[in-house]
Amino acid sequence: MRFEDYKTLAFERRGKVLTIIINRPESYNSVNGALHDELATVFSDVADDPDSDVIVLTGAGKSFCAGGDMEWFQSMIDNPRIFERLAPHAKRIVYSLIDLEKPIICRLNGPAAGLGASIALLCDIIIASTKASIGDPHVKMGLVAGDGGAVIWAQLVGYVRAKEYLLTGKMMPAAEMERIGLVNAVVPPEELDARVYDLADELANGARQAIRWTKAAVNIPLRDIANQVMDACMGYETVTNSSKDHQEAVRAFVEKRPAKFVGE
């Protein structure tokens, strides 16, 4: 891998364990165009990396990933062609996470929202800090939850709970994540690294082919679900990118006031 080619992601090696760090801490690791592009390539790149057998995904600073950057959102409202070009990359993020045969552990160090929640939940094992929270607030931004939320939430917690959180867009605290089985474990922040890297080392010292192909086999139905829904998800999200409610949500966020939706 050419780590120097990545600008919004950082990398650390620990033996056969490769840590990918979402590295925009000044904006709570929010997703802009550059980060979105790099997320669309990084998991395919690490699949070909001969020096790693286990991947850890985390965020720099106090957040995991705060979801979409507001300036980026506004740029796509102003120029819808940007959003149209975004759809293939959004699909690539989801598929490359599902298809990555190397086990990937999410070190959920802080809040994960929107796409941040999707990439966290598409990891194989999720160890969360007690300071973490998770949610998919697409609807609160006047957007369809198209970039992975409709694929993964229901598979982890069932359709009733998934629809509650996807349709309200509310954030879930760490204790609730653990209670409903959305994550594997919740630990105090000072214990997070030990829990994550003990597990990563266990996997790295295991039977590599058996581990990889077990993951590949388990993910076959998940890929089928992605095949069924991703085109529709991104189509619906593309339409809502041009809606009045989405523009209102962006303005309201910037102006730090509640959004007043009109249903258009």
| CATH number for the domain harbouring residue 178 | 3.90.226.10
Under DSSP, the state recorded for 26 is G
pLDDT at residue 140 in the model: 96
Whole-number mean pLDDT of the chain? 95
* Digit-coded pLDDT (tens) for 145-188: 988 999 999 999 999 999 999 999 999 999 999 999 999 999 99
Measured distance CA(33)–CA(73) in Å, rounded? 9
pLDDT for 242 = 92
Burial class (CB in 10 A: 0-12, 13-18, 19+), 112: buried
Considering the domain boundaries, does residue 259 fall inside one? no
Q: Tell me which residue of 103, 1, 13 sits closest to 50, measured CA to CA.
A: 1
Find out whether 97 and 43 touch, Cβ atoms under 8 Å: yes
Nearest alpha-carbon partner for 35 in 64, 68, 57, 61: 68
Q: Under a CB-based contact definition with an 8 Å cutoff, are residues 258 and 252 in contact?
A: yes
Count the Cβ atoms, other than its own, within 10 Å of residue 76. Answer: 21
Within-domain flag for 163? yes
Tell me the pTM: 0.95
Distance CA 264, CA 262 (A): 6
**Residue 239 domain flag:** no
* Domain boundaries, position 174: 3-190+204-209
Tell whether 109 is covered by a domain. Answer: yes
**Residue 246 resides in a domain:** no
Listed as own residue / partner, the contacts of 173-177 with beta carbons closer than 8 Å and 24 or more positions apart are 173/133, 174/128, 174/129, 174/130, 174/131, 174/132, 174/133, 175/130, 177/128, 177/132, 177/133, 177/134
SS3 content of the chain, % helix, strand, coil (to 5): 55, 15, 30
Residue 227 covered by a domain:
no
* pLDDT at residue 147, rounded to an integer: 87
Q: What is the pLDDT of residue 65?
A: 98
Q: What is the pLDDT of residue 85?
A: 84
Asked if residue 257 is part of any domain, the answer here is no
pLDDT score at 175? 95
Number of domains present in the structure of the chain: 1
Distance (Å, whole) CA 39 – CA 20: 10
In a domain, 256, yes or no: no
Tens of pLDDT along 90-99? 999 999 999 9
Residues with pLDDT less than 50, the chain: none
